[in-house]
Amino acid sequence: MTDFLFKKDISQDIGLLKKINPDLNQAWMDYHNSVFADGALSRKEKEIIALAGGHITRCPYCIRGRVMTAKKNGATDEEIIEAIYVAMRFAMGAPYAYSSIAFEAADAIENGIPLTEGHFFKKDITHEMNHFREASGDLSKPFMEFHKKVFADGALSKEMKRGLIGLACAHMTKCPYCIRGCVKDALSFGIKKEQMAEAINVAMVMSAGACYAHTGIAMDTLANLNARAGEKAKAAAEK
């Protein structure tokens, strides 16, 4: 086993993955490359969305790779930084929206209602969210200021941040409320369904991409196990 789980160079490990099943790897690469081709969204826009997605999956290989490809396709440092902050905001988004479940449960307990009644995902969570903000007290103000600054027009437009990067990140955090809000904003901004679909496909690639990159750990382990097995077999044969 190597000394570090996260190595700088995993090309040899990925090479083993490709060698063991080239057909599956080719199918994956065909999909990956088609998703990142210019379409309803430009390659640059997709790379910026992917960069945010890499931070959601917390994949160091994806982050490093997408910074390089985003820059290669014309993204500025400012655009990259703003995309990262959008990812941070959506990393908060799921627990923020899911606080409605906690406060629905709290209300139920206070009113003697069994927790087995009601719904985890209600369509209208206004009451619970207001309750959460009240209970958060002074914490609500800096959060809302951060929220406003993240989605303000800057190096990236608010349309790009909320309607495309946000939509992709919301799918990756698996937050139904965030997805619904981003779709509503995207349509109000005039973003087309084809553009939304491409952003979601980027999210799909980045979710799978983190698994793909982390196969380096599996392949490194597999190679070492096979090497040990070979050594044992050789030693047994020599006896």
Over residues 26-38, the mean pLDDT reads 97
**Residue 126 domain-assigned?**
no
Provide the 10 A C-beta neighbour count for residue 160: 24
Collect all residues with Cβ–Cβ distance below 8 Å to 88 and sequence separation of at least 6.
55, 150
**What is the CATH classification number for the domain harbouring 182?**
1.20.1290.10
122 C-beta neighbours (distance < 10 Å), count: 14
**Residue bearing tokens 């382990």:** 221
pLDDT of 225: 87
Q: Is residue 81 part of a domain?
A: yes
CA distance 104 to 110: 10
Q: Is 132 domain-assigned?
A: no
Whether 120 is covered by a domain: the verdict is no
143/165 Cα distance (integer angstroms): 20
Asked if 75 and 66 touch (Cβ cutoff 8 Å), the reply is no
Asked if residue 209 lies in contact with residue 32, where contact means CB atoms within 8 angstroms, the answer is yes
* Domain region containing 52: 11-99+155-238
Q: Given its phi and psi angles, is residue 75 left (phi above 0), alpha (psi -120 to 50 degrees) or beta?
A: beta
Lookup result for tokens 């800057």: 154
Residue 135, in any domain of the structure? no
Quick count: other Cβ atoms within 10 Å of Cβ 56? 24
What are the two backbone dihedrals, phi and then psi, of residue 111, each rounded to the nearest 5 degrees? Answer: -105, 10
Q: Is residue 110 part of a domain?
A: no
Q: Of 22, 44, 56, which Cα lies nearest the Cα of 198?
A: 44
Q: Which two tokens stand for residue 171?
A: 């799918």
- Name the one residue in this structure whose structure tokens are 């599996």: 218
Tokens 């908060």 belong to residue: 92
d(CA 14, CA 30): 16
Q: Residue 2 above 60 pLDDT?
A: no
pLDDT, tens digit (0-9, with 9 covering 90-100), for 122-173: 888 999 999 999 999 999 999 999 999 999 999 999 999 999 999 999 999 9
Q: Determine, yes or no, domain membership for 21.
A: yes
Q: Which of 37-46, 194-203, 226-235 has the weakest average pLDDT?
A: 226-235
> What is the number of structural domains in the chain?
1
Are 169 and 90 spatial neighbours (Cβ–Cβ below 8 Å)?
yes
Name the percent of the chain lying above pLDDT 90. Answer: 72
Q: Per the domain annotation, does 202 fall within a domain?
A: yes
